[in-house]
């Protein structure tokens, strides 16, 4: 057992997995000598060499396509997209290609490609270094989208992702990289996909949150103890496909649900979770399902004032919960 932060959890697990499986290689912009702009691949080129830690040209479409090709061949590529915002040039390759090989060949060709990318805001990144991209990709059958938020979950899910035989979009909230610390056991545990985790048990209201918002929600829950509001916090961890059962049982128990995310409201992940609850737990609901999200603006502004206004946070979460509790 040792306490590490999210970025160390990544780096250590990448190294460990690369030692285990020689088919795993890493490619991305500046992942080599620079060790990644967030230093997630620090030291890896020194240990594994330039063949396995590959500085790619500045071209995300081909970075992903090369990963696809290598995955079809039978390797276990990990590609890093430097910022989630810059995955957009690879949209066609991810959605139309990586996610469809299995289905379009009736299982003959498979594409076990892992795409890692830092996402999310609150770090002064402005419109193009703060985006949440999960909803766009969670709409795509055949593509796993995961967003582990703690060192424990990151280690366990990264290990698992490297054994899954389908493409995976592995989202890392960049603000949590050094902010979030936690215990990680020494064992080779894994955390399966499609299993949500109840990060806090409670009886009054279910809050569904992931990434940075999970941590804000946990703080909010802590504060609300003093007001006698007992929050259950569900971390879906796998954002696509969702663990419907865990979400629904929690809401059936509490009768009230709030979903929190940074991405904008309209067709953000909260839309699907909300629709799911409204359809499958309708008779258990004591209040309308509530969403607390970024506003419907093209992305998060740079100026601090506007960024703070955009971001959900502990205060906004507690306010929303109070409202829901009072319903």
Partner 1 sequence: MTLDLSENLESKTRAEPRHVQLGLHDDQVLEMYWHMLLARRIDERMWILHRQHEVAFHVSGIGQEGCQVGAAYAVKRGHDFILPYYRDLCLTLTLGLTPRAMMLALYGKAGDPMSGGRQMPAHYSARQLNIVSVSSPVATQIPQASGIGFAIQYEKTDQVVVTCFGEGSTAEGDFHEGLNWAGIFGLPVIFLCQNNQYAISVPIEREMPVKNVADRAYAYGMPGVIFDGNDFLESYGAMKLAVARARQGKGPSLLEAKTYRPVPHSSDDDDRTYRSRQEVEFWKKRDPILLARNYCYSNNILDEDKNQEFEERAREIVDDANEFARAAPYPPAQEALNGVWGPLPEIERAG
Ligand X SMILES: Cc1ncc(C[n+]2csc(CCOP(=O)(O)OP(=O)(O)O)c2C)c(N)n1
List the single partner that 59 binds among partner 1, ligand X, a copy of itself, none, CB under 5 to 8 Å by kind. Answer: partner 1
CA 62 to centroid of chain Cα atoms: 23
Report residue 182 as tokens: 């936690």
Question: According to CB under 8 A, which residues from 130 to 159 bind a copy of itself?
Answer: 135-136, 138-142
* Under rule CB under 8 A, residue 24 binds a copy of itself: no
Binding mask 68-107 for partner 1 (x = CB under 8 A): xxxxxxxx-x-------xx-xx--xx--xx--xxxxxxxx
∠ Cα 223 226 230 (to 5°): 75
The pair of three-digit structure tokens given for residue 318, joined into one six-digit string: 């507690």
Per CB under 8 A, 275 contacts a copy of itself: yes
Helix, strand and coil content of the chain, in percent to the nearest 5, comes to 45, 20, 35
Provide the minimum distance between the beta carbon of 42 and ligand X in the complex, in angstroms, as a whole number.
Answer: 17
> Which residues, listed in sequence order, are joined to residue 232 by a DSSP beta bridge?
206
85 touching a copy of itself, by CB under 8 A = yes
What are the helix (H) ranges across 112-260? 134-138, 151-161, 176-179, 212-224, 244-254
DSSP SS3 for 80: strand
- Give the binding site for ligand X (CB under 6 A): 29, 58, 60, 82, 86, 89
* Other Cβ atoms within 10 Å of 261 Cβ, number: 28
Q: Are 291 and 208 in contact (CB under 8 A)?
A: no
Question: From the candidates 129, 173, 240, 261, which is the catalytic residue?
Answer: 129
Residue 124 vs 141, nearer CB to a copy of itself: 141
Active site residue 261: no
Catalytic residues: 129
Residues that bind a copy of itself (CB under 8 A): 85, 88-89, 91-92, 95-96, 99-100, 103-104, 127-128, 135-136, 138-142, 240-242, 264, 266-272, 274-275, 277-280, 282-283, 285, 287-291, 296-299
């Amino acid at each position: 057992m040792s306490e590490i932060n999210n970025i160390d959890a990544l780096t250590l697990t990448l190294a460990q997995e690369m030692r285990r499986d020689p088919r795993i290689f890493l490619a991305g912009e500046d992942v080599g000598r620079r060790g990644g702009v967030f230093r997630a691949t620090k030291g890896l080129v020194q240990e594994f060499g330039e063949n396995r830690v590959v500085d790619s040209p500045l071209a995300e479409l081909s970075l992903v396509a090369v990963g696809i090709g290598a995955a079809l061949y039978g390797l276990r590529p990990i590609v890093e997209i430097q910022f989630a915002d810059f995955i957009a040039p690879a949209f066609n390759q991810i959605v139309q290609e990586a996610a469809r090989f299995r289905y379009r060949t009736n299982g003959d060709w498979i594409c076990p490609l892992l795409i890692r990318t830092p996402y999310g805001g609150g770090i002064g990144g402005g419109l193009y270094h703060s985006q949440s991209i999960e909803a766009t990709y969670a709409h795509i059958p055949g593509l796993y989208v995961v967003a582990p938020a703690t060192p424990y979950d990151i280690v366990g899910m990264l290990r698992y992702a490297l054994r899954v035989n389908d493409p995976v979009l592995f989202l890392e909230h960049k603000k949590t990289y050094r902010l979030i610390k936690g215990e990680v056991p020494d064992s080779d545990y894994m955390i399966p996909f499609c299993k949500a985790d109840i990060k806090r048990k409670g009886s009054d209201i279910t809050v569904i949150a992931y990434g940075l918002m999970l941590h804000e929600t946990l703080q909010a829950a802590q504060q609300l103890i003093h007001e006698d509001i007992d929050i259950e916090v569900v971390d879906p961890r796998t954002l696509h496909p969702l663990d419907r059962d865990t979400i629904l049982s929690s809401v059936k128990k509490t009768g009230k649900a709030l979903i929190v995310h940074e991405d904008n409201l309209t067709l953000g992940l909260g839309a699907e979770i909300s629709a799911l609850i409204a359809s499958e737990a309708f008779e258990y609901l004591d209040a309308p399902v509530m969403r607390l999200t970024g506003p419907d603006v093209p992305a998060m502004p740079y100026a601090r004032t506007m960024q703070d206004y955009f971001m959900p946070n502990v205060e906004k979460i507690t306010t929303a919960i109070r409202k829901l509790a009072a319903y």
